[in-house]
Structure 1
Amino acid sequence: MRILHTMLRTGDLQRSIDFYTQILGMKLLRRKDYPDGEFTLAFLGYGDESEQTVIELTYNWGVEQYTLGSGYGHIAIEVDDVHQATARIKAQGGKILRDAGPMNAGSTIIAFVEDPDGYPIELIGARAG
């Protein structure tokens, strides 16, 4: 067994695709409209779905905004250098929620950014070895 994807609902599909591809460097792997259900799915990731976990963006036609709720946590993405990643994201207009620095009560370097729909994304420094 393995985790296939995490699904996020978006109020503006193209805006979210642009964020995940242009700012976070993912690739749009596939996209499909479902006219009978009035929704569109887009799958994005850093590698092929057969090998990698991906993000599924769901756009329900005509819905422009969602309430995130208090139970949702975040998506985590490993980066080589958290300081460089946050500087690049900030330079591209991305919203930084927490600047790069050690995690609470630990030494792992992390940061948090926010996608266009308000979902937090944790950037975690690559582990040595």
Structure 2
Amino acid sequence: MKYVWTTINTDDLETSILFYKEIVGLPVVRRFKTPDGEIAFLGEGETLIELIKSANPAPKVGPGISLGFAVDSLEETLSFLKRWGVAIESGPFQPNDHIRFFYVLDPNGVRVQFSHSF
């Protein structure tokens, strides 16, 4: 068994794609219509993000769930997000001498963590 994707239900597929493509840096690898909506997969490698816009949406992701992305520079990422007008939800935090991270919210309210290990 292997982990292949995380599904996020969205009311605005275009805004969600823009966030994960332009802010997070994930390419769209598949996109297609369904009988009651549209699905897009974004990512690199084996694990993808599946965005679903449906006429009959499923419940939103609950609290306590977050997606984590490693970055080369936390400071550059913070500056990049500021230029895009993305608000920092919490952090930066440095719980030990080896990692720093912070959170933003995606357009669907999902917490997205950007972390740098050193």
TM-score where L is the length of structure 1: 0.80
Q: Does 1:114 align with 2:105?
A: yes
Shift of residue 56, structure 1, vs aligned partner: 0.4
Q: Is the 8 A contact 1:97 1:114 kept in 2?
A: yes
Residue correspondence of structure 1 range 1-129 to structure 2 within 5 A: 1-35=1-35, 38-45=36-43, 47=44, 51-61=45-55, 67-70=60-63, 72-103=64-95, 106-107=96-97, 108-125=99-116, 127-128=117-118
Could you say which structure has the higher strand fraction?
A: 2
Shift of residue 62, structure 1, vs aligned partner: 6.7
Higher alpha-carbon deviation: 9-18 or 19-28: 19-28
Structure 1 stretches of at least 4 aligned residues deviating more than 3 Å after TM superposition? 65-68
Structure 1 residue runs of 5 or longer lacking an equivalent are: none
Matching residue's letter, 1:4:
V
Shift of residue 69, structure 1, vs aligned partner: 2.7
Spell out, residue by residue over 1:88-110, the C-alpha distance to the aligned partner (whole angstroms, 9 max, x if none): 1121121211233313xx23101
